[in-house]
Amino acid sequence: MRDIRNIVILTGAGISAESGLQTFRAADGLWEGHRVEDVATPEAYERNPALVHQFYDARRARLSEVVPNAAHVALARLDAEWRGDLLIVTQNVDDLHERAGAKRLLHMHGEVRKGWCLACDERFPWEGPMSPNRAHPEPVEGPSPRPQGPFDTLRVSSGGRSNLCPSCGTAGMVRPDIVWFGEMPYDMERIDAALMNARLFVSIGTSGAVYPAAGFVQTARYRGAETLEINLEPSQGSLYFDERRYGPASVEVPNWVDELLTS
Q: Which residues sit at the interface with ligand OAD, rule CB under 6 A?
A: 12-14, 17-18, 23-26, 29, 40, 91, 109, 179, 181, 205-207, 209-210, 231-233, 235, 248-249
Rounded to 5°, the CA angle 5-101-261 comes to 35
Angstrom distance (rounded) from CA 191 to CA 193: 5
Angle between helices 70-81 and 249-262 (to 10 degrees): 20
Q: Is 109 a catalytic residue?
A: yes
Q: What does the CA dihedral 176, 36, 26, 60 come to, rounded to 10 degrees?
A: 20
Write down the least CB distance from residue 115 to ligand OAD, Å. 17
> How many Cβ atoms are within 10 Å of 65's Cβ, its own excluded?
9
Amino acid at residue number 95: D
Write down the least CB distance from residue 231 to ligand OAD, Å. 5
- Is the Cβ of residue 163 or residue 206 nearer to ligand OAD in the bound state? 206
Q: Which single residue brings its beta carbon nearest to ligand OAD? A: 14
Write down the least CB distance from residue 237 to ligand OAD, Å. 11
Write down the least CB distance from residue 181 to ligand OAD, Å. 6
CA neighbours closer than 13 Å in the CB half-sphere of residue 198 = 31
SS3 content of the chain, % helix, strand, coil (to 5): 35, 15, 45
- Is the Cβ of residue 35 or residue 146 nearer to ligand OAD in the bound state? 35
Angstrom distance (rounded) from CA 255 to CA 38: 39
Write down the least CB distance from residue 107 to ligand OAD, Å. 10
- Is the Cβ of residue 6 or residue 235 nearer to ligand OAD in the bound state? 235
Angstrom distance (rounded) from CA 160 to CA 139: 10
Q: Cβ distance 218 to 203 under 8 Å? A: no
Helix, strand, or coil (residue 232): coil
CA neighbours closer than 13 Å in the CB half-sphere of residue 29 = 13
Choose, from 72, 97, 107, 109, the residue flagged as catalytic. 109
Rounded to 5°, the CA angle 226-211-227 comes to 10
Write down the least CB distance from residue 13 to ligand OAD, Å. 4
- Is the Cβ of residue 42 or residue 248 nearer to ligand OAD in the bound state? 248
- Is the Cβ of residue 41 or residue 197 nearer to ligand OAD in the bound state? 41
- Is the Cβ of residue 19 or residue 158 nearer to ligand OAD in the bound state? 19
Residues known to be catalytic: 109
